[in-house]
């Protein structure tokens, strides 16, 4: 097995003049991309970046993120793309933790970076698109040679540190090796049968592992074409589909929901889409059915940053097992275990644990937290799930999200699925809130469709009659205009729990 940088060079040899990346009306062939990567790698080396050094970025979706990823991989440096939506305090924590020697940022984030790095003069700042402050990216790479760097890479070396969203405290840096990322790519290529004629639109944030590794890197590995957009725009996505520019598409559920509601979706020709992928949170079955009914396989994947990220993805039964995230990818083993770590029978809920070559090395600078999430070779995901008699997996909820009311376990997804069947409910989230009598009680937070009559908690409970046990029914209802989400569209349940009722 080779390092990530080597396989880009080899793909460039096979597909020299083929479009690799299209971004902001800029078309880079594989030869162009590899040459720019080599220039960047050599420029970083001349700046003093060596094996094991950390290089951070604060960038919106762009080709420079890919160039940084591959350049760092070629010289043994560690790339860490950071979330530009974080506060200065959160970014300061990460920079103190990772101790990067270089940061590449968009011009619009110059002031943020300079504030965060005050008192840290040893960090070089390189700016994309601004020649007035710091060193500009294009001029930085322009004078460097485009020859291949000669650095020996061990595939077990860390090549990326991806920071978690930090919903339960400070963000943790997930260390992914060349080997981890390569095995993820291999599994996606096999499971999704990606071809060199495929093209995709990367619209989810590339500072998250899903935006990089579910379709973007696998397509570049195979020799396909990646189109990059900075921000999600449902009309723009439809335009790409109508113009037959993409054959496969990954988005998170909130994006899929907005797209199917956008004007013109019903008439949009989907015939060139070979498949779609959803991940990041539970996707409503109604969305899956819309695409399945129009002849487009709609795959619901499951994974975590710690698994680089794909653990479950199945194409063969995508229409028959709506609601399932499929079976384990080809090199992934899974078990459902109880609190004692013992396997539970099919259809029983327990914690999902995973063993695979794409499971992370550990958390950066956090040996105790790393030890806590491993049970021997098995990674404890912190997710409750069940497996049916045929081996298909259904994710129930995060372990910490289980509601315990009067001694009964209530899994939010069960309640959410019923609420989404209500004619006036567009989105629904269920959380547990403290209750003096029952320990916890069920609170529903909903986003309504355009409706004349706003439902009350009594209306909601009446609707749930016969569909849910009474102890699972919401006792509190909150109606909101939108749900709080992180940059990847994942709902921030902790914020909803903190809202005073």
Return the HEC string of 163-179. ECCCCCCCCCEEEEEHH
Please report the DSSP string for 250-301 in residue order: EE-HHHHHHHHHSTTGGG---TT--EEEE-SSPPPHHHHHHHHHTT--EEE-
Predicted pLDDT at 285: 83
* The CATH fold of domain 402-497: GMP Synthetase; Chain A, domain 3 (3.30.300)
**Taking the mean position of all CA atoms in its chain, how far away is CA 138?**
29
- List per-residue pLDDT tens for the chain, 501 residues long: 889 999 999 999 999 999 999 999 899 999 999 999 999 999 999 999 999 999 999 999 999 999 999 999 999 999 999 999 888 888 999 999 999 999 999 999 999 999 999 887 789 999 998 767 679 999 999 989 999 999 999 999 999 999 986 545 678 999 999 999 999 999 999 887 899 999 999 999 999 999 999 999 999 999 999 999 999 999 999 999 999 999 999 998 888 988 998 999 999 999 999 999 998 777 888 888 899 999 999 988 888 899 998 888 766 655 667 778 888 888 899 999 998 999 999 999 999 999 999 999 999 999 999 999 999 999 999 889 999 998 899 888 888 888 888 777 888 988 999 999 999 999 999 999 888 788 889 999 999 987 778 899 999 999 999 899 888 999 999 999 999 887 667 788 877 876 544
The three-class DSSP label of residue 474 is coil
Question: Which H helix or E strand runs over 487?
Answer: none
- Among residues 132, 159, 162, 182, the alpha carbon closest in space to that of 52 is found at 159
Predicted pLDDT at 159: 97
Question: Which H helix or E strand runs over 424?
Answer: none
Torsion 414-165-496-455 (CA) sign: negative
Is 162:305 a contact under the CB 8 Å cutoff? yes
Predicted pLDDT at 93: 92
* Phi, psi angles (nearest 5°) of residue 77: -80, 170
- Candidate CATH numbers 2.60.40.2380, 3.40.50.980, 3.30.460.80, 3.90.380.10; the one for domain 23-153: 3.40.50.980
Predicted pLDDT at 488: 62
What are the beta bridge partners of residue 124? Answer: 102
Q: How many CA atoms lie within 13 A of 230 on its CB side?
A: 7
Structure tokens at 372: 């806590």
Helix, strand counts (H, E) of the chain: 16, 27
Is 139:128 a contact under the CB 8 Å cutoff? no
Q: Which CATH superfamily is domain 182-399 in?
A: ANL, N-terminal domain (3.40.50.12780)
Torsion 216-169-434-386 (CA) sign: positive
Mode of pairing for the β-strands spanning 350-355 and 362-363:
unpaired
Cβ neighbours of residue 269 closer than 8 Å, sequence gap 6 or more: 241, 242
Listed by start position, the domains of the chain span: 23-153, 182-399, 402-497
Task: Please identify which residue in the block is written with the tokens 């988005």.
Answer: 251
Q: Are 23-153 and 402-497 in the same CATH fold? A: no
Mode of pairing for the β-strands spanning 393-398 and 403-405:
unpaired
Predicted pLDDT at 5: 96
Predicted pLDDT at 251: 94
Cβ neighbours of residue 386 closer than 8 Å, sequence gap 6 or more: 336, 346, 347, 348, 349, 350, 393, 394, 396
Whether cis (ω within 30° of 0) applies to the bond prior to 309 is yes
Largest Cα–Cα separation, the chain = 71
**Taking the mean position of all CA atoms in its chain, how far away is CA 229?**
16
* R_g over Cα of the chain: 23
- Among residues 78, 60, 59, the alpha carbon closest in space to that of 69 is found at 78
Structure tokens at 282: 């539970």
Predicted pLDDT at 323: 78
Predicted pLDDT at 398: 83
């Amino acid at each position: 097995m080779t390092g990530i940088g080597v396989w880009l060079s080899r793909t460039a040899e096979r597909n020299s003049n083929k479009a690799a990346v299209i971004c902001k009306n800029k078309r880079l062939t594989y030869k162009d991309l590899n040459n720019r990567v080599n220039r960047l790698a050599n420029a970083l080396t001349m700046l003093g970046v060596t094996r094991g050094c950390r290089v951070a970025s604060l960038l919106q979706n762009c080709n420079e993120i890919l160039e940084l990823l591959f350049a760092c991989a070629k010289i043994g440096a560690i790339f860490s793309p950071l979330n530009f939506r974080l506060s200065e305090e959160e970014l300061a924590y990460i920079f103190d933790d990772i101790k990067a020697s270089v940061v590449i940022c968009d011009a619009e984030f110059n002031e943020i970076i300079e504030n965060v790095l005050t008192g840290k003069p040893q960090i070089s700042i390189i700016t994309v698109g601004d020649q007035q402050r710091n060193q500009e990216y294009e001029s930085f790479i322009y004078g460097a040679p485009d020859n291949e760097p000669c650095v020996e890479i061990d595939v077990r070396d860390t090549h990326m540190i991806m920071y978690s969203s930090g919903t339960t405290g400070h963000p943790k840096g997930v260390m992914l090796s060349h080997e981890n990322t390569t095995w993820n790519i291999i599994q996606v290529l096999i499971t999704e049968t990606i071809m060199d004629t495929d093209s995709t639109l990367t619209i989810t944030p590339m500072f998250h592992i899903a935006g990089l590794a579910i379709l973007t890197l696998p397509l570049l590995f195979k020799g396909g074409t990646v189109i990059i957009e900075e921000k999600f725009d449902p009309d723009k996505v439809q335009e790409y589909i109508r113009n037959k520019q993409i054959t496969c598409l990954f988005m998170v559920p909130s994006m899929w929901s907005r797209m199917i509601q956008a004007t013109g979706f019903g008439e949009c020709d989907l015939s060139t889409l070979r498949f779609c992928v959803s991940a990041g949170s539970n996707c409503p079955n109604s969305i899956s059915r819309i695409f399945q009914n129009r002849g487009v396989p709609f795959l619901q994947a499951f994974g975590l940053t710690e698994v680089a990220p794909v653990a479950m993805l199945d194409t063969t039964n995508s229409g028959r097992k709506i609601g399932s995230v499929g079976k384990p990818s080809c090199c992934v083993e899974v078990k459902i275990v109880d609190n004692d770590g013992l396997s539970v029978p099919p259809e029983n809920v327990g914690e999902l644990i995973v063993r695979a070559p794409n499971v992370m090395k550990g958390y950066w600078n956090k040996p105790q937290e790393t030890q806590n999430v491993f049970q021997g070779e098995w990674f404890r995901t912190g997710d409750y799930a069940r497996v049916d008699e045929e081996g298909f997996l259904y994710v129930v909820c995060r372990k910490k999200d289980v509601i315990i009311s009067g001694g009964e376990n209530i899994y939010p997804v069960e309640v959410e699925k019923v609420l989404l069947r209500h004619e006036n409910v567009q989105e629904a989230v269920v959380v547990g809130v403290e209750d003096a009598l029952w320990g916890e009680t069920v609170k529903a937070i909903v986003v309504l469709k355009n409706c004349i009559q706003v439902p009350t908690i009594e209306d909601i409970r009446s609707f749930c009659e016969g569909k849910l046990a009474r102890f699972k029914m919401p006792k509190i209802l909150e109606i909101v205009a939108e749900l709080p989400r992180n940059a990847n569209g994942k709902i921030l349940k902790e914020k909803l729990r903190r809202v005073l009722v």
